[in-house]
Amino acid sequence: MKNASLNDIWVFAEVARAQGFRAAAANLNLGVGSVSETIQRLERRLGVRLIERTTRKISLTYAGEQLFERSLPALTDLASALDDLNDDQNTIAGTLRLSAPRSSSPFFLDEVIVKYCATYPAVNLEIMYDDQKVDLVASGVDATIRSQTLVQKGSFSVEIGPKLDMALVASPTYLEHNVSPKKPTDLTDYDGIRFGFGGTDRLAPWSFVEGKSKKNYTVSPKSRMVVNDLVSMINFAKAGLGLAYVYRKPAEPFIDSGELVTLFDKYIPSLPRYTLNYLTKRHVPARLKAFIDLAKEIG
């Protein structure tokens, strides 16, 4: 390591994660000058430039990116191990940081969180709802809850929550003004209200299964609307703006009332359960292990 100290690497990782010297200094309770001096010392010892500096922002060089990606999991392991040593073995405490999609909240996550907080009152919980893929290394969260299509490579995962029943819905008004599709492949000619993971470049697929073979296939309708909120999708479908492929549970009250009708129920498969994803099986903090056990029990 060319005599680079663990403390120097720790400071470097915090600068990279905080994306700035001032923010990292505040997080580490150090002076900005001390942080800058530490980075310069580390670069001299390694013989490579790790950070490009401008007056407004920093960016990692290729060497900096490699060091950050490879060192942060080890530093996280070390921090967790030290936390576990400092904590009483019978006490589950600290702060648990989670990232989850908005849709998981009404399905099962609210129930898990309420029971977890009641069972472990010494734990503070931070949960950020976000439907995009989250980098476990850079984000600083203990775990993410995601669908299987957004599982991070190299992470460990545990299935939690129920299977997710889907439905293709439309308002009676929309179907009155448009000839009802006879089969799922006809949907390419219809207005779709699509769910987008942060933009139009990544859309949730509309999945169907063939009759006897049960082979999965996808159909892409015309993307009249792209949104990243399930409630809005249902509201837009009720307003007659197009067809929406949504989780069945939040749409069910409107299906029961007749404001929405479903199409091709027997051709729509359930989605796999959510997964809870974390970086390492070693030194899993007790507060995270307790959350995993509870989520598996309720799910």
Q: Which of 117, 130, 96, 138 is nearest to 289 (CA)?
A: 96
Q: Give, as one character, the DSSP assignment of residue 184.
A: G
The rounded distance, in Å, linking the Cα atoms of 106 and 250 is 8
The rounded distance, in Å, linking the Cα atoms of 17 and 60 is 10
Helix (H) / strand (E) containing 257 = helix 248-257
The confidence band for 299, taking pLDDT boundaries of 50, 70 and 90, is low
SS3 state at 176? helix
pLDDT for residue 48 is more than 60 = yes
Q: Give, as one character, the DSSP assignment of residue 197.
A: S
Least confident of 6-10, 25-29, 151-155: 151-155
Read off φ and ψ for residue 278, nearest 5 degrees: -145, 165
pLDDT for residue 1 is more than 60 = no
pLDDT tens sequence across 131-181: 777 777 667 788 989 876 555 555 688 888 888 899 999 999 999 999 899
**pLDDT computed for residue 89 by the predictor:** 47
CB of 58 closer than 8 Å to CB of 17: no
Record the tokens describing residue 198, joined without a space. Answer: 């942060």
pLDDT for residue 86 is more than 70 = no
Helix (H) / strand (E) containing 95 = strand 94-100
Across the chain, mean pLDDT equals 85
**End-to-end alpha-carbon separation of the chain, Å?**
45
Record the tokens describing residue 70, joined without a space. Answer: 């490879």
Whether the full predicted model's pTM is greater than 0.75, yes or no, is no
CB of 148 closer than 8 Å to CB of 272: yes
- Residue written as token pair 């598996």: 296
Q: Pairing state of beta strands 206-209 and 216-219?
A: antiparallel
Q: Which of 156, 2, 158, 16 is nearest to 75 (CA)?
A: 16
pLDDT tens sequence across 253-276: 999 999 999 999 999 998 888 889
The rounded distance, in Å, linking the Cα atoms of 141 and 279 is 10
The rounded distance, in Å, linking the Cα atoms of 166 and 236 is 17
CB of 268 closer than 8 Å to CB of 216: no
The confidence band for 278, taking pLDDT boundaries of 50, 70 and 90, is confident
pLDDT tens sequence across 70-84: 887 777 777 766 666
